[in-house]
A = this chain, B = another copy of it.
């Protein structure tokens, strides 16, 4: 005994159209098919679903009740279909995401990829300036940066709070402390980032607030290079606190003078950059609570 969707649809549309032929036309199948579906359902259950009245098929009381239940089934099934179809349009496609810092942006990207495995993700990394330019020039659909400029061309959503911290090699005396002051930092060989780095701007502002801005012992373009230089004992550098999940060989030191200088890692895109995939990315960011540990999962 089978109460399949096909059979119930046949019953529903015979009731609605008044004939097997009419139901067949609506359902896009042949008329013998409908006749057989209805008749085998009636035979299986030993019931009568339709009566002939003036040449038309009219549902019996039982047939009408069955149609009511079948209607509810069809409605729920339609909801399920739409649910899947709307997600299915997210099933394929691509997105280019710009990241200034690896974290927490990469965690968000990982979570997005997990949720939408069919979406092809291209990650563009670079300096704050480079990524901002990429978004403005449509080189990136969406990006995650700290200190996104107040620009009405962008739409944005908050991802995480962050701040710039100093990083010292583990063997360094400063590594034994939980924080550091600007004066202490001025006595050290400092490793800066090149122009355009939002990290560097924050550092410059911090020093400027509390005295002269010290000249760096070394200036590097890449974040990775800076990290390796610090690990190698060349000096003390600066990073966004959660800008990387990497932690080996260094100690992160909050800077006392930073005080309220905390900022936000923000997801942003041009207002004109729309689409289901970009919308889905924003939606995920809005609800995101991923820590580095989420990435391990």
Binding site for B on A (CB under 8 A): 3-5, 8, 45-48, 51-53, 60, 62, 65-66, 69-70, 72-73, 75-77, 79-81, 83-85, 87-88, 91-92, 114-115, 117-118, 137-138, 272-276, 297
> Which among B48, B81, B137, B272 is the interface contact of A115 at CB below 8 angstroms?
B48
What residues on B are CB-neighbors of A297 within 8 Å?
A: 53
> Which among B3, B92, B115, B273 is the interface contact of A46 at CB below 8 angstroms?
B92
Do A76 and B73 form a contact, CB below 8 Å, given A4-B5, A46-B92, A48-B273? Answer: yes
B3 touches A48 (CB 8 A): no
Do A3 and B80 form a contact, CB below 8 Å, given A48-B117, A91-B47? Answer: yes
What residues on B are CB-neighbors of A87 within 8 Å?
A: 45-47, 62
Assembly CA distance A115 to B51 (angstroms): 9
Q: Which of chain B's residues has its CB closest to A58's CB?
A: B138
Q: Which of chain B's residues has its CB closest to A274's CB?
A: B48
Give the interface centre of A70, A75, A83 by most chain B CB atoms within 10 Å.
A83
Grouping DSSP codes into helix (H, G, I), strand (E, B) and loop, the A interface class, with mixed when no group exceeds half, is helix
What residues on B are CB-neighbors of A48 within 8 Å?
A: 114-115, 117, 272-275
Do A66 and B84 form a contact, CB below 8 Å, given A73-B73, A77-B3? Answer: yes
B80 touches A66 (CB 8 A): yes
Do A46 and B276 form a contact, CB below 8 Å, given A60-B115, A70-B76? Answer: yes
B88 touches A46 (CB 8 A): yes
Instruction: Apart from A48-B274, A51-B137, list 5 A-B contacts with CB within 8 A.
Output: A3-B80, A46-B88, A51-B138, A60-B115, A72-B76
Give the interface centre of A47, A73, A274 by most chain B CB atoms within 10 Å.
A47
Assembly CA distance A81 to B80 (angstroms): 21
Do A45 and B84 form a contact, CB below 8 Å, given A69-B77, A76-B73, A79-B69? Answer: yes
What residues on B are CB-neighbors of A84 within 8 Å?
A: 3, 45, 47, 62, 66
B85 touches A51 (CB 8 A): no
Assembly CA distance A8 to B4 (angstroms): 12
What residues on B are CB-neighbors of A5 within 8 Å?
A: 4-5
What residues on B are CB-neighbors of A72 within 8 Å?
A: 72, 75-76, 79
Q: List 10 A-B contacts (CB under 8 A).
A: A3-B80, A45-B84, A45-B85, A45-B88, A48-B115, A48-B273, A48-B275, A51-B272, A53-B297, A60-B115
Q: Which of chain B's residues has its CB closest to A85's CB?
A: B45
What residues on B are CB-neighbors of A275 within 8 Å?
A: 46-48
- Report A42 CB to chain B, min CB distance, Å: 8
Do A69 and B83 form a contact, CB below 8 Å, given A5-B4, A51-B138, A115-B60? Answer: yes
> Which among B3, B79, B92, B117 is the interface contact of A81 at CB below 8 angstroms?
B3
Give the interface centre of A53, A83, A84 by most chain B CB atoms within 10 Å.
A84
